[in-house]
Amino acid sequence: MNYRIVNYDPVYNDQICELEKELWSRDLDINKSYLRWKYLENPYSDLPKLYLVLYGEKLIAVRGLYEWPFGLNGDSFPALCSADLVIHPEYRSKGLYPELMDFIMSDLHDEGYTYLLSFSAGPTALINSLALGWKVIGRMKSIHTQFYIRPVTKKLTDPVTVNKLIKRVVTTKILRKPPSPPRIREELWRSTNNLPANVEFGYDPKPGEMARLISGLDTSGKVVLVRDEKYFGWRYRNPLSGYFFLYWQDTELRGYLVAQTPLFMAGSMGNFNVLELEGQSPEIKKELMKALLSLLDFRSATVWSGMLDDNVRRYLMASGFKERSTAKSVAEFNETVLIRTTDKDNDRIEFHGTNLLDVNNWDFKMTYSDFY
């Protein structure tokens, strides 16, 4: 087949967004905003890393890599996170994917990149990535509550609450109609009256304060994403997601929680994912989770277990969260973190002597994944 692989060129923006309808949204304009946010406005890379496969002038495949810096004990390294692979249905099963990845590996190696990560591979991409030399760092375990209900004694005596519960069961479980994003926003805002005095609700990040808080937290020799002011100023402007923030503060910001809900995935709308939970003490984190539960009100929530301190995890389990069962087969979706190097002659995956294949050397947060 006579095709060529080229680096990103804005002339193909419309075709990229059309092809990505399979992964992003069905709306071309929203996809254009997403492309702009994820690749063009990414504060860590000057040039978007999007690789295009063209057949004549027709775009038949895309692979994106977005750049994020990871740090360990004060040093950092740039990593490219692999995402957004789409091959036009008519050109699948023609050996395109391995050739595209070969091109990308050699291009990135020439540009001086060493590490590639992947947080969002589905089962087919996962197994094919393994066939091309990627390695699994770990599969993410999460805890989840299907339909969070505040203590029964308080709730079932209140007719307004019972009415709300019936309405939500009918719309989400029977009619399977997710609430619209503006309605979720409005409902959340109304519930913020119940928050404790130290906890503030917001729809916008506080980049400077959040970055200051993070820089003072102990990362205990773990590899972490560098979350600086630039990061917070950019990360939560993703147009495919809705976010809200809970801040724990007295004289200064001492903790925060970031929750996300997808805006265009019908099956997942109304479920809240806890992308970050940070605080100067386990107590602060627990209070933030308690505040989140007071806002959920019959909605579901998910959090990666590895992000939680023991006391917060115990609190959530006692509040009705349950462990999501581990995938029984490679064909079942389970968030998996993959890594590889661009160096064909050196398959040691380490940074300053730390083995990057060992999941215990990382502090993974849900915010690292471009699913959210």
Q: Are 206 and 165 in contact (CB under 8 A)?
A: no
Q: How far is the CB of 364 from another protein (least distance, A)?
A: 5
Cβ-count burial of 274 within 10 angstroms (0-12 exposed, 13-18 middle, 19+ buried)?
A: buried
- Nearest to another protein of 80, 121 (CB atom): 121
- Judged by CB under 8 A, the residue of 123, 181, 282, 320 near another protein is 123
- Judged by CB under 8 A, the residue of 7, 124, 180, 194 near another protein is 124
* Binding residues with another protein: total (CB under 8 A): 36
CA-wise closest residue to 162 among 152, 176, 171: 152
Contact window for another protein (CB under 8 A) among 135-143, 162-170, 176-184, 284-292:
135-143
- Judged by CB under 8 A, the residue of 4, 47, 111, 133 near another protein is 133
Collapse the DSSP code of 213 into the 3-class scheme (helix H, G, I; strand E, B; otherwise coil) and give the result.
helix
Q: Are 108 and 264 in contact (CB under 8 A)?
A: no
Q: What dihedral angle (degrees, nearest 10) is formed by the CA atoms of 263, 164, 148, 142?
A: -20
- Judged by CB under 8 A, the residue of 4, 47, 102, 139 near another protein is 139
Local structure of residue 263 (DSSP, 8 states)? S
Contact window for another protein (CB under 8 A) among 45-53, 136-144, 148-156, 206-214:
136-144
How far is it, in rounded angstroms, from Cα 52 to Cα 39?
14
CA-wise closest residue to 206 among 169, 257, 241: 257
Q: How far is the CB of 131 from another protein (least distance, A)?
A: 4
Site string for another protein, 167-206 (x = CB under 8 A): ----------------------------------------
Q: Residue 4: which H helix or E strand, with range?
A: strand 4-7
How far is it, in rounded angstroms, from Cα 353 to Cα 351?
5
- Judged by CB under 8 A, the residue of 92, 173, 314, 344 near another protein is 92
- Nearest to another protein of 186, 323 (CB atom): 323
Local structure of residue 372 (DSSP, 8 states)? -
- Nearest to another protein of 53, 184 (CB atom): 53
- Judged by CB under 8 A, the residue of 26, 176, 328, 348 near another protein is 328
- Nearest to another protein of 25, 342 (CB atom): 342
Alpha carbon 59 to its chain centroid, in Å, reads 27
DSSP string for 308-335: S-HHHHHHHHHTT-EEPPPPSSTTS---
As beta bridge partners, residue 58 has 55
Amino acid of residue 329: S
- Judged by CB under 8 A, the residue of 52, 105, 137, 274 near another protein is 137
Site string for another protein, 302-321 (x = CB under 8 A): --xxx---------------
Local structure of residue 360 (DSSP, 8 states)? G
Contact window for another protein (CB under 8 A) among 15-23, 186-194, 265-273, 331-339:
331-339
Contact window for another protein (CB under 8 A) among 39-47, 58-66, 91-99, 313-321:
91-99
As beta bridge partners, residue 322 has 144
Contact window for another protein (CB under 8 A) among 50-58, 175-183, 262-270, 300-308:
300-308
Tokens of 189: 């805002």
Q: How far is the CB of 60 from another protein (least distance, A)?
A: 15
Q: How far is the CB of 335 from another protein (least distance, A)?
A: 10
CA-wise closest residue to 45 among 79, 90, 95: 79
For 193, residues 6+ apart whose C-beta sits below 8 A from its C-beta are none
Q: How far is the CB of 124 from another protein (least distance, A)?
A: 5
130 binds another protein (CB under 8 A): yes
- Judged by CB under 8 A, the residue of 47, 170, 217, 330 near another protein is 330
- Judged by CB under 8 A, the residue of 13, 45, 76, 128 near another protein is 128
The 10 Å Cβ neighbour count of residue 183 is 11
Residues at the site binding another protein, with contacts judged by CB under 8 A: 92-93, 95, 97-98, 123-124, 126-128, 130-133, 135-141, 304-306, 326-331, 336-337, 357, 359, 362, 364
